[in-house]
Chains A and B, each alone.
Chain A
Amino acid sequence: MLKVQNLEVYYGQSRALRDISLEVGDGELVALLGVNGAGKTTTLAAIAGIVGVTSGSVEFEGRSIMGMAPETVLRCGIALVPEGREIFAGLTVRDNLRLGGYIHRRNSRLFAQDVEQMVALFPILGERMDQSAGTMSGGEQQQLAIARALMSHPKLLMLDEPSLGLAPRLVQDVFSLIATLHSQGTTVLLVEQNVTQTLNIADRAYLVNMGRIEAEGTPDELHSRVDVEQVYFGTHAAQSKQSG
């Protein structure tokens, strides 16, 4: 479905991505793991059309989407839930969702249906519907950010550190939510620093370091490389003992 090859991205003079190649198949949940500054967020931003690509290629469903504007990439069926959620704090929850469904704006029946579906998936949004989104807690805002992205009916959902800054109990909720979406058939590309939880739900994962893909494989394959986890993720001794 998504095929990224030899992606190279510069921010001014500094090279943020050196050589990123990855693939996401239809219905897969693929994770990008790595420390801060490894290039995970930049990879998603390059796919979404937010940052320019120096060289390499990005193909989605067989056609090149490289160099497209963010609004065009979305229309191709890729939605990004960016780091930090980026909800519109001054707008009501309903208006946030309305913008999420912007490309289907002429179909008001679909909008009503979709809102119902989102409320079924995220009951808290139903209670907060006409409240301004900024008054919600971090966990609620994360749910809204995901719901807003789903409103466009994306074929591929990209999530950038959805568990960042959430209380441990909510982190669990977010991961089970992503697992649920995946089991319902949504294709997901997930960027995370929470290695253990991510590998519990992912089909495959890539390890990103210094703008490169360092390793790739199924969770089982990656779990067996404790050394990799220790080097990149500072895994606690207790956890290493468990997995080793």
Chain B
Amino acid sequence: MFSWSDWFGFVISFLSLGSLYAVMALGLVIVYGILRLVNFAYGEYIMIVGYTLYLLHGGPLPWLVMAVLAVLVAALASYLTERIAFRPVRSNSVTAMLITSFAVSTLFRNAALLFISPRSRVVPLPDLFSEGVNVAGTIIQIRDVLAIVVSIVLLLVLTLLMKRTVLGIALRAAADKFTMTRLLGVPANLMIGAAFAISGTLAGVVGLFWLGRIGSVTPLIGLEPLIIAFVASVLGGVESLVGAVLGGYVLALITVTINNFLPQSFVDYRQAFIFAIVILVLLVRPQGLVGQKAEVKS
């Protein structure tokens, strides 16, 4: 039977996975809120973190400095995709931007295929990431604890930024009424640029822990986090930052529960179970857990 220490392990894996999912979804939603664009190149920022670490490997820099650099490169990549790829098509339509995001995603993946390798490359990780501590009979991975702590600090910093700074308030306002925010003098480019930079930073930090679980990077590594972020944000309600965070934790709870309680023979089909549950939730609440019901116009 499930013992106390099993429960403890369960909670830690739920919280660590949930924190990563929450931050991932948040990075996707912060851009969606303002542009109504699902940026399908989002997963590639995680790939970029991986390859940056890989390329810096063997250099003189300590891991922490490499990690910070990698996150900055991801943030820069996100900001530059907005400047170079999205801004020129922004006035056309959301569909044009959506297709552009697929193009950017393909471009990044193929660049990795072409210039680095289609095969996986080992990402340097600190020893701490593979160590565990014994807490009352349960082995707890230190990287899981780190993922929880770093994600929660990140969420707190972001909350503070969104509530206390004028730009943060403007971003929240823009997610509600973008044109109105511009009518008050807040430049569109500033808000969108900031949203992309924040999005890239969040993807970057999550990327460190995502890669920490896998240990290596491939050109296609961004796909799974993209899908997770997408599903989590739809689950929580795409128009709400709080919803994205909640969606991340709920999706993680479903995932960890299925991993722990589903009989071994079913584990191969666990994605099907996860998505079936998500579909059921959306049947009951199509607007997501936090989203507001779309008003029916008479």
A68 to nearest B CB, angstroms? 11
Name the CB-closest residue of A to B191.
A71
In the complex, A112 has a CB within 8 A of chain B: no
Using known A-B contacts A69-B188, A71-B188, A102-B166, determine if residue A91 contacts B173 with beta carbons closer than 8 Å.
Answer: yes
Interface size on B (CB < 8 Å)? 17
Which size class do A's interface residues fall under? Answer: 20 to 34
Contact of A88 among B166, B177, B182, B185 (CB under 8 A): B177
B184 and A100 contacting across the interface, CB-CB below 8 Å: yes
In the complex, B181 has a CB within 8 A of chain A: yes
Which of A2-10, A74-82, A119-127, A200-208 forms contacts with chain B? A74-82
Q: How far is the CA of A50 from the CA of B182 in the complex (A)?
A: 9
Closest CB pairs A-B (n = 10): A74-B185, A70-B182, A103-B185, A86-B180, A88-B173, A71-B187, A102-B185, A105-B166, A71-B182, A95-B169
Please indicate the chain B residues that have their CB under 8 angstroms from the CB of A50 in the complex.
179, 183
Name the CB-closest residue of A to B180.
A86
In the complex, A89 has a CB within 8 A of chain B: yes
Please indicate the chain A residues that have their CB under 8 angstroms from the CB of B179 in the complex.
50, 70
In the complex, A212 has a CB within 8 A of chain B: no
B161 to nearest A CB, angstroms? 14
Please indicate the chain B residues that have their CB under 8 angstroms from the CB of A88 in the complex.
172-173, 176-177, 180
Please indicate the chain B residues that have their CB under 8 angstroms from the CB of A99 in the complex.
166, 169-170, 173, 181, 184, 186
Please indicate the chain A residues that have their CB under 8 angstroms from the CB of B176 in the complex.
88-91
B80 to nearest A CB, angstroms? 22
Name the CB-closest residue of B to A104.
B185
B163 to nearest A CB, angstroms? 8
Q: Which of B173, B177, B181, B183 has the most CB of A within 10 A?
A: B183
Name the CB-closest residue of B to A158.
B183
Q: How far is the CA of A89 from the CA of B187 in the complex (A)?
A: 21
Other A-B contacts than A74-B184, A79-B183, 12 sampled, CB-CB below 8 A, are A48-B183, A69-B187, A71-B182, A71-B183, A71-B185, A82-B180, A88-B180, A90-B172, A91-B169, A98-B166, A99-B166, A152-B185
In the complex, A148 has a CB within 8 A of chain B: yes
Q: Type the 1/0 row for B191-234, where 1 means its CB is closer than 8 Å to any CB of A.
A: 00000000000000000000000000000000000000000000
Contact of A80 among B170, B181, B183 (CB under 8 A): B183
Q: Which of B181, B185, B188 has the most CB of A within 10 A?
A: B185
A-B contact pairs, 22 of them (CB 8 A): A48-B183, A50-B183, A69-B182, A69-B187, A69-B188, A71-B185, A74-B185, A75-B185, A79-B183, A82-B180, A88-B173, A88-B176, A88-B177, A88-B180, A89-B176, A91-B176, A95-B169, A99-B181, A102-B166, A102-B170, A102-B185, A103-B185
Name the CB-closest residue of A to B170.
A99
A69 to nearest B CB, angstroms? 7
Q: How far is the CA of A103 from the CA of B184 in the complex (A)?
A: 8
B173 and A86 contacting across the interface, CB-CB below 8 Å: no
A131 to nearest B CB, angstroms? 15
Majority SS at the chain B contact face:
helix
Q: How far is the CA of A91 from the CA of B180 in the complex (A)?
A: 13
Q: How far is the CA of A99 from the CA of B169 in the complex (A)?
A: 8
Q: How far is the CA of A100 from the CA of B179 in the complex (A)?
A: 13
A82 and B169 contacting across the interface, CB-CB below 8 Å: no
Name the CB-closest residue of A to B169.
A95
A102 and B180 contacting across the interface, CB-CB below 8 Å: no
Q: How far is the CA of A127 from the CA of B279 in the complex (A)?
A: 44
Please indicate the chain A residues that have their CB under 8 angstroms from the CB of B169 in the complex.
91, 95, 98-99
| Residues 14-48 (chain B) with a chain A CB within 8 angstroms | none
B126 to nearest A CB, angstroms? 40
Please indicate the chain A residues that have their CB under 8 angstroms from the CB of B185 in the complex.
71, 74-75, 102-103, 152
Q: Which of B169, B173, B176, B184 has the most CB of A within 10 A?
A: B184
Name the CB-closest residue of B to A90.
B176
Please indicate the chain A residues that have their CB under 8 angstroms from the CB of B181 in the complex.
99
Please indicate the chain B residues that have their CB under 8 angstroms from the CB of A100 in the complex.
184
Please indicate the chain B residues that have their CB under 8 angstroms from the CB of A105 in the complex.
166
| Residues 83-141 (chain A) with a chain B CB within 8 angstroms | 86, 88-91, 95-96, 98-100, 102-103, 105
Q: How far is the CA of A96 from the CA of B177 in the complex (A)?
A: 12
Name the CB-closest residue of A to B176.
A88
Q: Type the 1/0 row for B152-179, where 1 means its CB is closer than 8 Å to any CB of A.
A: 0000000000000010011011001101
Q: How far is the CA of A126 from the CA of B179 in the complex (A)?
A: 27
Please indicate the chain B residues that have their CB under 8 angstroms from the CB of A91 in the complex.
169, 172-173, 176
A134 to nearest B CB, angstroms? 10
B180 to nearest A CB, angstroms? 4
Q: How far is the CA of A71 from the CA of B185 in the complex (A)?
A: 4
B188 to nearest A CB, angstroms? 7
A86 and B177 contacting across the interface, CB-CB below 8 Å: yes
Please indicate the chain B residues that have their CB under 8 angstroms from the CB of A90 in the complex.
172, 176
Q: How far is the CA of A70 from the CA of B174 in the complex (A)?
A: 14
